Amino acid sequence: MGNPVRIAIIGAGSGVFSLGLVKDLCLNSNLRDSEVCFMDLNRERLDIVHNLARRYADELGSSLRFEQTQDRERALKDADFVINTASARTHQAQRRERELTAEHGYYYGGVNLHTPFENFDLMLSVAHDVERICPNAWMIQSGNPVFDGCTLMHRETMAKIIGLCHGHYGYLYICDVLGLDPKRVTWEAPGLNHCIWLTTFLYDGSDAYPLIDRWIVDGEEFWRTNVAKTTHEKQLSRGTIHQYRLYGLMPIGDTPRTQATTSNWWYHTDLATKKRWLANRSADLTVPRAHRRRRSASKSNRSRCREKSCSSRSCRSGSTWNGHSRPTAAATARCCCGTSSSHTRRAATSRPSRFCKRS
């Protein structure tokens, strides 16, 4: 049995994240009698999260104690752990930004009007307060951008900082759909900032990627009938499988839907296209028309095949991706330029994890 600790949650107004965290804390017997302090500038959201957390803990019979405050210094006083989920931009500001860009023809995040510097400033401010008020506490950074922010805080402060990203747990959804026992799965999914890839996926010690390949054969029925439980049923969506075919690895977590890290803007040109690729509602895995036009127009200036005579980008990826065809599930025997398969993409069942590990 562990000793009780004090945990401060900065930016606790996110009901989904905070309640998920409360559930984990309540179910951890080592944290019995610990104290959780919710801190947020928005009083209304703070009250809601605090009341829901107390009710949840009571129903579970947890001995966790909760308090709330809008004063960051009060929240940090005597803290053993500080979880920072705060964002400098409000939900209202983010929504207004999307509406403004939509007025000019850019769908939902098609162009960004902000930079991460405002969040960097907030992260540094919290880290400096941790240094001053609770220097022995561990600060767990959960708000994005995690990697960049943690790098900055490590360089500029002496606070003890850990970056936390939960996206890699997307492998569990794959196990669930494929009917695999997670206890018998060996996996590795390195990455950061919504750019995470399943480099190792073994079941009972054997390569489990062929199980994904077999599932894809009947995937259309899943996409046609499955009802998404969240806004994005992203982990085995059409967009996810499309990226798997392009890159030879399964994207994990938010990777399939994040434009900034995987340049997959073609999934987000409009709402209908987004639903088609990320919400399991469409006809097939054809390439969006806007994507075909743009790729065809710019392919001559893009990366070329290793064969000097071939101008198609598809040779580099090993699939016919030159503006008029869709990727295949496995590498073809010959490239679209007619050269041998020595420079084609490796088959989907051939895992590149050995290339990702340190030499």
- Residue 5 has, within 13 A of its CA and on its CB side, a CA count of 20
CA distances from 217 to 8, 72, 283, 329 (A): 48, 53, 14, 9
Any idea which residues carry the catalytic annotation?
166, 254
Spell out the SS3 assignment of 39-88: ECCCHHHHHHHHHHHHHHHHHHCCCCEEEEECCHHHHHCCCCEEEECCCC
- Written as six digits, the tokens of 49 are 């999260």
Torsion angle (degrees, nearest 10) of CA 283, 288, 289, 292: -130
Write the Ramachandran bin of 191: left for phi over 0, alpha for psi from -120 to 50, otherwise beta.
Answer: left
**Under a CB-based contact definition with an 8 Å cutoff, are residues 137 and 82 in contact?**
yes
> Any idea which residue has 């679209």 for tokens?
336
**CA 99, CA 112: separation in Å to the nearest integer?**
12
- 230 CB neighbour count, 10 Å cutoff: 9
**CA 292, CA 287: separation in Å to the nearest integer?**
7
Q: What is the distance of C-alpha 66 from the center of its chain?
A: 29
- Written as six digits, the tokens of 7 are 């945990």
Computed from CA positions of residues 334, 335, 336, 339, in that sequence, does the dihedral angle turn out positive or negative? negative
Write the Ramachandran bin of 89: left for phi over 0, alpha for psi from -120 to 50, otherwise beta.
Answer: beta
**End-to-end Cα separation, the chain, in angstroms:** 41
| 3-state secondary structure at position 35 | strand
Q: What is the distance of C-alpha 218 from the center of its chain?
A: 26
